[in-house]
């Protein structure tokens, strides 16, 4: 295990521990540790681990009433899970849908659904097959 991986794992463990302690200061510190873990995992190329931490951050932001940050983190987690073909993308998407509905952002819900369909289609190759089938060659 590399030093960078160990540091990222330690930051995530610390973030989870701090969150369980509760309180504003502990929650702020948890967010800082989680942010560092995301960056480290991305630098290591570990997209699934980064997506998992982004999911954690989305939930943390939601619990703090930081709707825009929560939405961004959950959306990035969905993207990471879709890119790595991880079934957790559906679970995170459901949480994002619930957040958008609960906060009266139905307009953003449709935008997210459209984006997610595009992303899934791109990752599965559906976009390319559909585009290729409709192309015409010059005579």
What are 10-51's pLDDT values in tens digits?
999 999 999 999 888 999 999 999 999 999 999 999 999 999
The Cα-based distances of 88 to 22, 80, 96 in angstroms read 26, 10, 12
Q: 32 Cβ partners below 8 Å, 6+ apart?
A: none
Q: 35 Cβ partners below 8 Å, 6+ apart?
A: 57
CATH code for the part of the protein at 3-125: 1.25.40.10
Q: 16 Cβ partners below 8 Å, 6+ apart?
A: 30, 56
pLDDT in tens, 117-130: 666 666 665 444 33
* Tokens matching residue 77: 């987690």
For residue 108, what pLDDT band results from cuts at 50, 70 and 90? Answer: confident
Residue 22 CB neighbour total at 10 angstroms: 10
**Range of weakest confidence among 48-57, 59-68, 111-120:** 111-120
Task: Note the pTM of the prediction, 2 decimals.
Answer: 0.80
Mean local confidence (pLDDT), 67-89: 93
Q: What sign does the dihedral 68-47-81-83 (CA atoms) show?
A: positive
Residue 2 falls in which region: left (phi positive, over 0), alpha (psi -120 to 50) or beta = beta
Mean local confidence (pLDDT), 80-87: 91
């Amino acid at each position: 295990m590399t030093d960078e991986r160990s540091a990222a794992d330690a930051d995530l463990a610390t973030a989870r521990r701090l969150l369980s302690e509760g309180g504003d200061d502990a929650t702020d510190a948890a967010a800082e540790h989680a942010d560092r873990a995301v960056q480290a995992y991305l630098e290591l190329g570990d997209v699934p681990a980064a997506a998992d931490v982004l999911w954690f951050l989305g939930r943390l932001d939601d619990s703090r009433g930081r709707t825009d940050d929560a939405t961004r983190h959950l959306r990035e987690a969905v993207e990471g899970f879709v890119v790595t073909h991880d079934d957790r993308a559906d679970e995170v998407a459901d949480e994002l849908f619930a957040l958008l509905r609960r906060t009266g952002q139905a307009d953003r819900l449709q935008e997210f659904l459209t984006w997610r369909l595009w992303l899934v289609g791109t990752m599965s190759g559906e976009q390319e097959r559909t585009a290729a089938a409709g192309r015409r060659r010059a005579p």
